[in-house]
Structure 1
């Protein structure tokens, strides 16, 4: 679905600003999951989640090493979508480029 919104010329917001604010509002209203809100904001899930933390919309985990469940679920959804789209890499390629740089 394509939605076109005409904004006043004197509005001090860019299209990116409007997309971001809309994504945040829809996320807060439980209308969009984290991964979809990040996609609307044209941001990575991690960056969008950090923005939510910075704006005190979500609380960061108490232990810095703990990955919030919402980020884990968003990552799993992204991975499943990549599988559906055929964007798979053989396990034999997992360490390509990493071992060479060590």
Structure 2
């Protein structure tokens, strides 16, 4: 489904700004998961999560090396369709390609 919204010409927001603001509201209302709102905002789940942290909507993990389960799940949900379409490759194949580059 596609929705068209007519915005005034003098609005100081870009389409990207509007997408992010809408995504934030939908996330806060628990209407969509993190990966879905990131897709709506047309940015990565990590970047969207950083916006939420910057706006004090969510609290960052105490250990910067810890990734929240929600970010891990969002990454997996985004990766699975790519795997099914053959767009992602096993790490062993990627490593072989790197070794060939530097051999």
Q: Which has the higher helix share?
A: 2
Asked whether the two chains share a fold, i.e. TM above 0.5, the reply is: yes
Q: Distance in 1 between matches of 2:36 and 2:25?
A: 12
- TM-score, normalised with respect to structure 2: 0.86
- Cα deviation digits, residues 15-35 of structure 1 (max 9, x gap): 111111001111111111111
Q: How many residues align?
A: 101
Q: CA RMSD in A?
A: 1.8
Shift of 1:88: 3.3
After TM superposition, which residue ranges in structure 1, 4 or more long, deviate above 4 angstroms? 98-101
Q: Where in structure 2 are there 5+ consecutive unaligned residues?
A: none
Segments of 5+ residues of structure 1 without an aligned counterpart are none
TM-score (norm 1): 0.87
What is the distance in 1 between the residues matched to 2:87 and 2:60? 31
